[in-house]
A and B are shown apart, each in its own frame.
Chain A
Amino acid sequence: MTFMSQFTSIHLDILKEIGNIGSGNAATALSKLLNKKIEMRVPNVKIVSFDEMMEMAGGAENVVASVFLRIEGEIPGSMFFVLPLRQATHFIQQMIGDINFSFEEPPYNEIALSAFQELGNILSGSYLTALSDFTDLSLYPSVPALGIDMVGAIISFGLIEHSQVSDYAIVIDTSLNEEGSTDSERVKGHFFLLPDPSSFQILFDALGVAKT
């Protein structure tokens, strides 16, 4: 039996609920931070190939702003908060009150980088706190690391654990939008939660669901 074939639709639904609770909290935090309404999509839980994962985040060569956290504790894993450069610029302009700032061209303003890292920290922190409360498992996120680079270069780092057991990853993806953004502006911010392969059993046990 391969690693991925052990997951049933019930398991995927549970992961979806986990994504829902976590990102719901994160969206609330983002909304408070920017003092704006934030729209959140129902989370997507997918078993995807590595290449498909890159496509979900906008394509391997696409340049994004991201915050990456390594999660240690009872369910180790990786977490990414990924924003297209335009939207990252937009958020940070509002946070630091400088409309001339842009992530499109270096050198980047130190304050802006720090603000973006803090944004990622707050959002991931609220996501993981909710997840920890819900499952009663302890999670210790690392200090967030900032990366402005190609999707492939960034996301592949979170796939290292998965790549040792299979060519697929289970990804819990939630996209966020500022309310009222037009379709052309509807560039998505994404949360990607990638529990390590060994974490799923612990996660399902904590929630009282037997794995098949």
Chain B
Amino acid sequence: MQALLRRLPIESYVIAFTIALWVALAWATPNFLTESNVSNLMRQTPIAAIVAIGVMCTIVIAGIDLSVGSVAAFCGVAFAQMCRHDFGLAPSAALTLLAGVSVGLTNAAAIGRLGIPPFIVTLAGLQVYRGLALLLAGGMTVGGLPAEVKDFARGTTGLPNLFWTMLAVAIAVHYLLRYTRTGRYLYAMGSNAEAARRQGINTFRITVVAYVLSSGLAALAGVLLVSRLSIASPSMANAYELQAIAAAVVGGASLFGGRGTVLGAVVGAILFTTMSNAAVLLGVDPFWEMVLEGLLIALVVYLDNLQKRRQSGA
């Protein structure tokens, strides 16, 4: 039995914990299992999960992306401005994603070519893109968007469209990581970059893949966020990077690289969204919620550290 428990992937524990939390919440408050709250959760989670999936890819190569929150805000504001100026919904969305991809290319170039540590590059990005978001929005919330902007996020196809979007992203990235050479090389590089290089793997290309995915998905999250809120605020998606990192790590990604799964990032995101939902429902002071979230992140990273040490000690 113990051996079986040890062999269960970390995702299963997170799933079990999340379900336990759901049960507890359903029991503790009549407002949890209502249709509006559940559908709210099904719209909130996908955006967090999409960001977490991207960040997880950078964590797998032993990197990090702290800029995703700011990139989501910047791209969201850019998207809103384009929509407001009648670029059309699809062209605006496409251009926004392209902007996200360029951000990723820039990050990868700074890390892989200039040799600046990912932490520093993306910390700078966190500041730069938040500033650009504020500039682009003129420091104010961008509203007055065409009605069709919000149709996507509000719409359902059986389940909320946002949920399907997350599922599509998750399947695509899972396929990439699990079944393709590129995916395998992400893990190889995060595990031992020198060994990967000696086997002829182009580690710069792999760096580009990871950071473009991260920024690209952050841009997608920005578009979806604007669609959900039907406004774009330059201060939105604040601290998304922390939630995304925490979600990925709770889901089994190691900050030392080489480990992490899409499923883990998604369940991690579900857990964190449930927790902030619970805080709202139970009337916990949002400032305390920040404190608790921060402590949880520290705990998770400590556990990651512990696991790594135990492994190398064996």
**A-B interaction:** no
